[in-house]
Chain A
Amino acid sequence: MTLSSTRLIVGPFNRVEGDLEVTLDVQDGRVAEARVNAPLYRGFEQILLGRPPSDALVIAPRICGICSVSQSVASARALAGLGPAAMPENGTLATNLILACENAADHLTHFMLFFAPDLARSCYGGRPWFAAARRRFAAGDGECARALLPARARFLHLMGLLAGKWPHSLALQPGGVTKAVDPGEKIRLLSILAEFREALETHLFADSLEAIAALDGLPALDAWADAAPPEAGDFRLFLHIARDLDFTGLGAGPGRFISSGSFGLFAPGVWAQGASTPFDPAQVSEDHAHSWMEGAILAPAVGKTIPAPDKPEGYSWCKAPRLDGQVAEVGALARQVVDGHPLARALNAARPGGSVHDRVVARLLELARLIPAMESWIRAIRPAEPFCAPPSPLGEGAAVGLVEAARGTLGHWLGLHNGRIAQYQIVAPTTWNFSPRDAQGNPGALEIALAGAPVLPGETTPVAVQHVVRSFDPCMVCTVH
């Protein structure tokens, strides 16, 4: 490769959920412009039309195998928006637990299976930490996944108990959950959490979850990283490698963060330029200028999904969601920054657009915050009290169901007419993060974050690009659906 302008088409991108192709215009050893293509379209929004409303609870989860519960919760909330039933407290607790279990398992899966294996690539053979990275993070047989994949599987026993199975459960209903918890099951749930906590505290953090959640700024994070040898915990090893590879200087996004809030634990809002404003889903629109979709800019409540595969300006099946016309990033970093966690706010103050480092840190910070919250929700369950409100007839009209999936804000915009689904639009986290350009030519969040990434001579699938892409924990199957 010469140091002049070249175009690279990179794919298949593995260790992302689903299909992704990235076109890079490379100039003088750096990405000048990136175009992100989601090359798979399945038509869920079309399939849902005309179906009885409750069928959404079966169909929508199957958009995504890695965040099926988030899809279930979004559709249950959209349906609940059209009926009067209020969810009993146990229903909320069980829903929170099922959703948090998925979020936490996804964060762990992302770290050990999707992100960290790149640190063990042979291109890093010359770095002082390489032997450790290979031993801990290598795809397939790294010690991190060997220890934590079984822990994840046993953590998902919570799904067996509360949701029947994972993925694709029907336990999450508009009025609550279909599975009540008896006193013995409550104890088993606490045991599952205790075992998972122990695995995280032993292998991932080599410290207590509370110590991680209490990190309150950059000096505290640095001090924690240096308080023990680099191999004391996978998180610490990551921090050391991230320092050496300057992960804080890689992958700055648009600097506008959205969170719809989660569990009553993480506050909702929009964070940009150091200030918080309320998040109003009515400000969301989807721009089709560079999607293989008919139409222009529409709010999801009136949005359409009509494929236009031959549209010349199109380069992705993904639509381009914008908040009040502007690009935004969603995910764990967004959630923690919006919520105001001191470490996340400090990361944001240092780098308003975020970075590869910041996204990974925020995800693991959130994992450390979720587990203790889950323990408290289990203790609050009161067996023999109701878990589900009786179904009530649904009204006609429109509603939106919002939820925070592991990867960020997910919205289902539902419209019912004559007892059938007349409108169903889904705006998924990676639709936000991996959107194509809009009519103004503004790139999506990943497209922004990739600009400037180094491309080394001879690289066809630049490793820095892979770090940036995977730092978002993309879920492409949700992106287009």
Chain B
Amino acid sequence: MVAPSPPPDTYNVLWLQAASCGGCTMAALAADDTGLLRSMARFGIRLLWHPSLSEESGAEALAVLEDCATGKLRLDCLCVEGSVLLGPNGSGRFQMLSGSGAPMKDWIARLAPKARHVVAVGSCAAFGGMPAAGHNPTDARGLQYSGWDPGGALGKAFRAGSGLPVVNIAGCAPHPGWMIETLAALALGDVSAEHLDALGRPRAYADHLAHHGCGRNEFYEFKASAARPSDRGCLMENLGCRATQAPGDCNIRRWNGYGSCTDGGYACINCTSPAFETPSGPFQETAKVAGIPVGLPVDMPKAWFVALAALSKSATPQRVRTNAHADHVIVPPARKPLKSP
């Protein structure tokens, strides 16, 4: 079966799941509270094939892939979700594309040069992600990075048809808005090299820190810190929060209507960064040297941070100190006494 030729004004996306958990797609399904397909259709984005959403299975699906690989179907964008597995021994057999007899890594290598844009959806596809943790048993790579190292499955020099490197919508899972907005901006022709950061992440969200807008900001200011799960205090000093270093606008926009990691009461694990899956210590504990967290905000002089922290700790209101160690407000803000009329 040959897929019908798309109209010229659509932006054709082929979405493949490499070694993924499927979570990026699951997050995307809730985009804009309306769903992936509709929120993309608004921008003329059409899915040629998506493993969770398309009707075509088996031979019909392989025909779509084949037509993209041979250039019969115009491929505007190849989205890859999940890491590319090179193992065992470079064979790629840890992930075979079902029914095709070929490893997924070979399909990606065939398809990527045909695409105007190549997008890594999620930290797995961007940097290797969770499958690359520890000794990386499957030789998992990102499309253009292996952890912090440029290269990955497609190579350092790879450029898509547009001249752009792989666009890395890093995040585990990425916020649905990051996915839709990046794809829409690509479809509109709005993305050039300066819109990506040094690791290929869209600056639209990567120019923020996950820390911005966190509901625990007052506790952060006074270094009134949570000591155990469900405490309301700041999660940075003890519970492993890396939001002051993590790229992302996670606390400026909401996840699933109301949430964010830190508002949900747990640490930001810096899921938008390479190698987040292999921290130096336990995820939910803050690494410290001489009692001072090692992961301080990158652009703040350490001495100042320490001095300010000491000062603000000594100025912490009783209310903030008490509430930091409770799961609900114990001491409400003081109000001016009522005056009688």
Contact = CB atoms under 8 A, between A and B. Distances in A.
Chief secondary structure at chain B's binding surface: loop
Interface in B92-117: 93-100
Interface stretch (A173-181, A254-262, A345-353, A357-365): A173-181
Contacts of A180: 230, 265, 327-328
A84 interface: no
Interface string B5-41: 0000000000001011111111101111111011000
A160 B134 contact: no
B172 interface: yes
A57 B284 contact: yes
Contact of B55 (A39, A54, A140, A164): A140
B145 interface: no
Contacts of A156: 30, 256-257
B93 A309 contact: yes
Given A39-B98, A164-B264, A14 B51 contact: yes
A41 B137 CA distance: 10
A234 B116 CA distance: 40
A477 interface: yes
Contacts of B56: 14
Give the residue among A46, A54, A65 with the most B Cβ atoms within 10 A. Answer: A65
Contacts of A176: 229-230
A63 interface: yes
Given A10-B99, A14-B61, A65-B173, A55 B283 contact: yes
B19 A42 contact: yes
Contacts of A157: 256-258
By CB atoms of chain A within 10 A, which of B88, B138, B262, B327 has the most?
B327
A164 B52 contact: no
A52 B97 CA distance: 34
B266 interface: yes
Interface string A50-76: 111011011100111110100000000
A384 interface: yes
A387 B271 CA distance: 26
A40 B19 contact: yes
B96 A39 contact: yes
Sorted nearest first, the 9 A-B pairs with minimum C-beta distance are A164-B264, A65-B23, A11-B98, A11-B99, A461-B58, A178-B265, A160-B259, A160-B256, A157-B257
B17 A19 contact: yes
A65 B35 contact: no
11 contacts: A10-B57, A12-B61, A12-B98, A40-B95, A140-B54, A149-B29, A157-B256, A164-B260, A166-B256, A179-B263, A386-B230
Nearest to B23: A65
B188 to A, nearest CB: 22
A163 interface: yes
Interface in A194-221: none
A139 interface: yes
B23 A64 contact: yes
A188 B22 CA distance: 29
B140 A59 contact: no
Interface stretch (A109-117, A430-438, A443-451): A109-117
Contacts of B55: 117-118, 120-121, 138-140
A169 B254 contact: no
A391 interface: yes
B189 interface: no
Contact of B172 (A150, A168, A171, A391): A168
A390 interface: yes
B53 interface: yes
Nearest to A469: B57
A154 interface: yes
Given A9-B99, A156-B30, A307-B137, 12 more contacts: A10-B98, A11-B100, A15-B52, A42-B140, A49-B134, A54-B284, A58-B269, A68-B23, A160-B257, A160-B258, A165-B260, A168-B172
Interface in B140-188: 140, 172-173
Interface string B58-77: 11111000000000000000
Contacts of A9: 99
A103 B21 CA distance: 17
Given A15-B52, A54-B283, A390-B228, A168 B23 contact: yes
Contacts of B57: 10, 12-15, 461, 466
Contacts of A460: 58-59
A167 B258 contact: no
